[in-house]
Amino acid sequence: MRKLLTQVAAVALLAGGFVGSAMAADGYTIGISNTVQGNGWREEMVCAMKAQALVSGKVDSLNIAHRNTDATGQLEDMRNLIQAGVDAIVLNPSNSDGVNAAIEEAIAAGIVVVAVDQAVSAEGAYVLSNNQEEYAYLGAKWLFEQLGGSGSVVYMRGAAGAGADNDRDTGFKRAMEEYPDIKIVHEVFTGWQQDQGKQQILDYLSTGLPVDGVWTSGIDNVIVDAFIESDVPLVPIVGADNAGFVGQLATVEGFTGAAVTNPGSIGGAGVTLALQILDGKMPESNTVLVDPSIWANNDPEGKALIAAAQNPNLDPEWPVSVQIPGWTDYSMDEIIACKGPGE
């Protein structure tokens, strides 16, 4: 974990570099807007928001809009939060431009807006995100190296049009430029839904067409399951640091894979940033990125990181990186309990 801690330390230093006025009064109301429900990463993100709001002691209540919807639905949700008079909105945007109108309305109303996980282009909004382009580049580069720079790859993306997916596609394509003999034989959008992603890979495997490796946008343990259930030899697979996949990296015999860190706890970090701004502690920049690490089970350092990250208490779809030092300070029990102020 030393590499991960080193990378997030820079973010923690930035948090400590805020300049601002005296603390504002406690008792804030924080609005939360999320457009993907039933996905383990997003569920952990929301639980991190709740847990951080609770332990901060500064939040009286959360107003949560958490459902499966698109930019139009998120615009409606955010406008409802504005009408409710929240002090800040922490959102995972449907895409980088689609909710700008509501963000601008919120800022005009004096509401702090923090986008997590994915960037927004609206001026005046703050962005605290995992570095999505680097996430894809690290995993794709590792995968292509495992294939000796040549082979047939299944490319399993996230949600079409989402800012994080666009950024990851940029990183993936950057890696492909370095390995021109890699061929994408199948490209799908999983919508970051486990059932959908599993069915997509099962359908492809049933064709008997070639596959030498699989890159996934965080829908990973079910892809390993699909290979095993289809009685197809395992190939190198890249996923995220989700508990189920990290467990497979340690236990599935003959499986070579790598997890790229992508903590859902970025949601809790977003709450911390919103509270700091409300207290008059303005960040030096409107954008802060948390850089990922890669944990491969075919090198000693990666194996050690994977072993240290095992956590049977977590849902298999939850990332094992439940904390971001300098930004979150709830306990493991508190994030698993998923309780916010007043609950």
Beta strands in 159-256 (DSSP E): 181-189, 213-216, 237-240
* CATH number for position 205: 3.40.50.2300
DSSP structure class, residue 314: S
Beta strands in 14-165 (DSSP E): 19-20, 28-34, 59-66, 88-91, 112-116, 126-130, 150-157
293: closest CA among 276, 309, 282, 312?
Answer: 309
Please, which residues have CB within 8 angstroms of residue 208's CB and are 6 or more apart in sequence?
none
Asked whether residue 10 falls in the same domain as residue 27, the answer is yes
Residue 300 lies in a domain: no
205: closest CA among 224, 181, 179?
Answer: 224
- In this prediction, residue 187 carries a pLDDT of 98
pLDDT digits (tens, 9 = 90+) for 231-285: 999 999 999 999 999 999 999 999 999 999 999 999 999 999 999 999 999 999 9
- In this prediction, residue 83 carries a pLDDT of 97
Query: 3-class SS at 316?
Result: coil
Asked whether residue 224 falls in the same domain as residue 157, the answer is yes
Residue 110 lies in a domain: yes
Whole-prediction pTM value?
0.84
Residue 43 lies in a domain: yes
Beta strands in 83-204 (DSSP E): 88-91, 112-116, 126-130, 150-157, 181-189
- In this prediction, residue 26 carries a pLDDT of 59
Domain region containing 195: 132-260
Amino acid at 299: D
Residue 101 lies in a domain: yes
Asked whether residue 87 falls in the same domain as residue 163, the answer is no
Domain boundary among 243, 260, 277: 260
Work out the percent of the chain whose per-residue pLDDT is above 70. Answer: 92
Asked whether residue 210 falls in the same domain as residue 242, the answer is yes
Q: What is d(CA 306, CA 303) in angstroms, rounded to the nearest whole number?
A: 5
Please, which residues have CB within 8 angstroms of residue 148's CB and are 6 or more apart in sequence?
none
Residue 184 lies in a domain: yes
Beta strands in the chain (DSSP E): 19-20, 28-34, 59-66, 88-91, 112-116, 126-130, 150-157, 181-189, 213-216, 237-240, 257-260, 281-282, 287-290, 294-296
Give φ, ψ of 216 to 5 degrees: -120, 150
Query: 3-class SS at 311?
Result: coil
7: closest CA among 163, 138, 115?
Answer: 138
Q: How many Cβ atoms sit within 10 Å of the Cβ of residue 286? A: 15
Asked whether residue 89 falls in the same domain as residue 186, the answer is no
115: closest CA among 85, 132, 94, 84?
Answer: 94
- What is the pLDDT confidence band of residue 95, given thresholds at 50, 70 and 90? confident
Q: How many domains does the chain have?
A: 2
Q: What is d(CA 247, CA 251) in angstroms, rounded to the nearest whole number?
A: 6
Asked whether residue 96 falls in the same domain as residue 146, the answer is no
User: 266-278 and 2-16 helices cross at what angle (nearest 10)?
Assistant: 10
Query: 3-class SS at 186?
Result: strand
Asked whether residue 118 falls in the same domain as residue 148, the answer is no
Residue 151 lies in a domain: yes
Decide if pLDDT at 4 tops 80. Answer: no
pLDDT digits (tens, 9 = 90+) for 113-124: 999 998 999 999
Asked whether residue 14 falls in the same domain as residue 115, the answer is yes
Residue 277 lies in a domain: yes
Asked whether residue 273 falls in the same domain as residue 212, the answer is no
Asked whether residue 153 falls in the same domain as residue 175, the answer is yes
Work out the percent of the chain whose per-residue pLDDT is above 90. Answer: 85
- In this prediction, residue 3 carries a pLDDT of 40
- In this prediction, residue 37 carries a pLDDT of 87
Residue 305 lies in a domain: no
Decide if pLDDT at 22 tops 90. Answer: no
Asked whether residue 8 falls in the same domain as residue 122, the answer is yes
- Taking CA atoms, 192 is separated from 54, 119, 164, 173, 266, in Å, by 28, 18, 11, 20, 17
Asked whether residue 256 falls in the same domain as residue 178, the answer is yes
